[in-house]
Amino acid sequence: MITQSLDVGRKRKMYFISVIIPVYNAEKTIRKCVESLLNQNYPKNKYEIIIVDNNSTDDSIKEIKHCPVKIIKCEKRGAYIARNTGAKHAKGEILAFTDADCEASENWLAEINNSFNDINIDAVQGPGNKTRQKDLKVKVECLTREMTEKIFWGDTKNFAIRKRVFDEIGGFDSFFTGSDAAFLLKLREKGYIVKFNDKMIVYHEFPTDFLKLIRKNWRHGFGDVYIEKNFYKVRRLSKIKKLFYTNVRRSFKIFSLNDRQWRKTLMWIYYFIAIEIRTASYIFHSFHPKILFASNLERENKVRVAYVLSYFPKLSHTFIMNEIVELIKKGHEVYIFPWSHASENVIHEEVVKYKLMERTYFYLSKRQLLTINPTRFLSFFRFFTKLLAIDLKKKRLSKGLIHRSAKLAYFASIIKEKKVSLIHAHFATMGEVAKILGKLTNLPYSITVHAYDIYSIPFTQQMKDVLNNARMIITISNYNKDYLKTNLHINTRIEIVRCGINLQKFNPDANLEKDDKIRILAVGRLVEKKGIEYLIRALPIVLKELSECELIIIGSGPLYDQLEALVKELNLENIVRFEGNVSDSDLLKFYESADIFVLPCIIAENGDRDGIPVSIMEAMAMKLPVVSTNVSGIPELVENNVSGILVKQKDTTELANAIVKLGKNQNMRKNMGEKGRQIVESKFNLGVEVEKLIELFQEVKKIEANNSPKPK
């Protein structure tokens, strides 16, 4: 049974972790720090230690030159610059940060690894107030650094993050103290999940010098103002009062310490003076030029885009959901306008995780329309009467057109309200809706075309006009681009942006043990163009050479009954299993348990065909060798005899031979799987592709701003 095989031999993943330590004049503490990392309860071949030297003038590097660590010289001063430099040289999937004056507990790396075995976790923070020092001044400092599950901040002496996420965020800002707190807030603002793990312990050696504490708090004052300018709306006077009273309240914690009364009183005075320096710094730096102007520049680069879709949330439209989520994670505003609701029992986990339904606007019933706020209703009514007048003028009024006009008017009213700068449609079939909304709101529109919308649907003059009037057309393959230009004679600018995937989500478990049975996996809708029929017909030939094999088919669709009947006709009931639609977590398990991925796509009788199937990208990311066909844009993803085997469409004998060839050669399967992962990482990386999309959106926004009439 496949269900059993998913769990048998499954182990917790052991991530390769890169530990990054910035060093500046730390000869007294660096050796203890490195030794604590070398004595971890974690496999030695599963982590590396990167020391970034910030031009130390003492013997810090001499202290550790015989230790098995990687030492990098960083010419520019600053701990955050050093951390960014270390991240560029890191090989690990996980980046772990600590400081040269810290000692890690022996289970530190193991706890980091445990946290990231939850694939939903993007970063993890440990407590920052642990120390082995006995000095009373240090105890006071620790009191102010107490963290809990609900209230904690970025503190890079005890912090870990997925490297992919770190790169997407762009690393630490390097020009102010407190960049780690800003980094954490940026993570949360963009929808990443940060976990607090109180078992992830490092022991910090705090400075005991009074002047050092004052200097540090003065620097933190600048960071406080910068963070609030970019992440919060703060009334300065109220904030200053709050800072003062909070510091007074915190200072009285000193009297809870177990020590003599006179010493506690002295420490209270010491702490109160030092901490109020931070308040003074806050007031002074509120007028710093970097604070006054930095956030305005960031705001100008943000895109506010309306996505016009046929259905949402739709399980088979993974590529659209991935794109929207990535835009949100990068700090852009996305509003979703589906023409219809996709009523499906299974939805992607990201829909819930990133609260996409809160950004989605379905058309309301007549009763609901009357309950919306007056401003939106007046805007709706204005757009509705405008569309109604156009229909009356063309003498084409009907109940269906009135409903359509009301829906368009409702969408337009929200687009205006949200101050959207661009309308973007997925599929050419939604282009007409985008065009009308663009005219109503005086906004440019762009369209991403995929496959069925240009190959199988009758391509009318109206659709051609919609594409030619778009500000830009985006497509997923060179094959599509050539077809649009050569066959459909589209003159609009056409750009290629691949449907990338989240490589962190689709990351194979190297420790998963498999048995001798060859598991063939197919994932896709049960429609003609996926070619599942030919895969089933090839199985009797495969079974002659590979008696111990099975086929698992994930997905649903109109051909289910026909394909099930074919399985019975060929007596393959014990070999073929239809799993239907599955959750994301179950899909990952099926990928991990599979040996070969097969999707023999064809050109259907009505001309419909795949663009570049996302399921093939997912399989390659999971290091599975692929068997597919040379149809459409598939050869742009699968390199024949490198990352998989491509065969002629509808050729069951050639298809069976390719499966047998891979089934008999484990080394070939492994090598093709490794190469497939590399191809997806370099050419179909979701983060990289969405960056291309953002640049195109920003370009359209800039052109539109330059062309708009200037106010007199």
Higher pLDDT, 210 or 302: 302
- Residues 96 and 218 grouped into a single domain: no
How confident is residue 315, by pLDDT bands cut at 50, 70 and 90?
A: confident
In DSSP terms, 122 is beta-bridged to none
Residue 396 lies in a domain: no
Q: 605: buried, middle or exposed (CB in 10 Å: 19+, 13-18, 0-12)?
A: exposed
b/e sequence 93-122, b meaning 16+ C-beta within 10 Å: bbbbbbbbbbbbbebbbbbbbebbeebebb
CATH no. for residue 461? Answer: 3.40.50.2000
- Residues 187 and 287 grouped into a single domain: no
pLDDT at 508: 84
- Per-residue HEC secondary structure of 21-59 comes to EEECCCCCCHHHHHHHHHCCCCCHHHEEEEEEECCCCCC
Q: Can you list the alpha helix ranges (DSSP code H) found in 40-174? A: 60-64, 79-89, 108-116, 136-143, 163-169
- Residues 616 and 671 grouped into a single domain: yes
- Domain boundary residue, one of 300, 323, 341: 300
How confident is residue 710, by pLDDT bands cut at 50, 70 and 90?
A: very low
Structural domain span for residue 343: 301-362+419-496
- Rounded to the nearest integer, the mean pLDDT of the chain is 82
- Residues 344 and 484 grouped into a single domain: yes
Q: DSSP characters for 273-287?
A: HHHHHHHHHHHHHTT
Residue 330 lies in a domain: yes
- Residues 296 and 307 grouped into a single domain: no
Nearest to 161 by CA among 54, 41, 37, 15: 15
pLDDT over 70 (residue 167):
yes
Residue 157 lies in a domain: yes
Nearest to 108 by CA among 94, 119, 121: 94
- Domain boundary residue, one of 207, 232, 263: 207
- Residues 125 and 237 grouped into a single domain: no
| pLDDT tens, position by position, 208-258 | 666 666 676 666 666 666 566 555 444 444 544 455 555 555 555 555 555
- Residues 130 and 269 grouped into a single domain: no
Nearest to 21 by CA among 51, 48, 47: 51
Residues 483 and 452 sit within 8 Å (Cβ to Cβ):
no
| pLDDT tens, position by position, 39-68 | 999 999 999 999 999 888 888 888 898 899
pLDDT at 148: 45
pLDDT at 439: 94
Side chain identity at residue 462, one-letter code: Q
pLDDT over 50 (residue 295):
no
Residue 410 lies in a domain: no
| pLDDT tens, position by position, 387-435 | 988 888 877 778 888 889 999 999 999 999 999 999 999 999 999 999 9
- Per-residue HEC secondary structure of 317-364 comes to CHHHHHHHHHHHHCCCEEEEEEEEECCCCCCCHHHHHCCHHHHECCCC
Q: Which of 3-7, 409-413, 635-639 has the lowest mean pLDDT?
A: 3-7
For the sheet containing 576-580, what is the strand order? 576-580, 549-554, 518-523, 596-599, 626-629, 644-647
pLDDT at 411: 95
| Cβ contacts of 131 within 8 Å, gap of 6 or more | 138, 142, 203, 204, 205, 206
CATH no. for residue 172? Answer: 3.90.550.10
- Residues 658 and 670 grouped into a single domain: yes
pLDDT over 80 (residue 272):
no
- Residues 575 and 633 grouped into a single domain: yes
| Cβ contacts of 184 within 8 Å, gap of 6 or more | 123, 125, 153, 154, 194
Distance CA 604, CA 682 (A): 31
Residues 694 and 331 sit within 8 Å (Cβ to Cβ):
no
Residue 306 lies in a domain: yes
Q: Can you list the alpha helix ranges (DSSP code H) found in 190-260? A: 210-231, 236-251
C-alpha distances in Å from residue 306, one per residue of 301, 313, 349, 425, 428: 16, 15, 22, 8, 16
Residue 273 lies in a domain: yes
How confident is residue 204, by pLDDT bands cut at 50, 70 and 90?
A: confident
Average pLDDT of the segment spanning 503-529: 84
Q: Under DSSP, is residue 521 helix (H, G, I), strand (E, B) or coil?
A: strand
pLDDT at 193: 85
| pLDDT tens, position by position, 79-108 | 888 888 898 888 899 999 999 989 999 999
Side chain identity at residue 149, one-letter code: E
pLDDT at 627: 97
- Residues 238 and 174 grouped into a single domain: no
Number of domain units in the chain = 4
Q: Which of 168-177, 537-546, 570-579 has the lowest mean pLDDT?
A: 168-177
Q: 402: buried, middle or exposed (CB in 10 Å: 19+, 13-18, 0-12)?
A: middle
Q: Under DSSP, is residue 497 helix (H, G, I), strand (E, B) or coil?
A: coil
| Cβ contacts of 634 within 8 Å, gap of 6 or more | 601, 610, 612, 613, 616, 628, 646
Residue 369 lies in a domain: no
Average pLDDT of the segment spanning 662-678: 94
- Residues 430 and 342 grouped into a single domain: yes
Nearest to 631 by CA among 529, 499, 563, 489: 529
CA 681 distance to own-chain centroid: 14
- Residues 215 and 245 grouped into a single domain: yes
Residue 22 lies in a domain: yes
pLDDT over 90 (residue 543):
yes
% of the chain with per-residue pLDDT over 70: 78
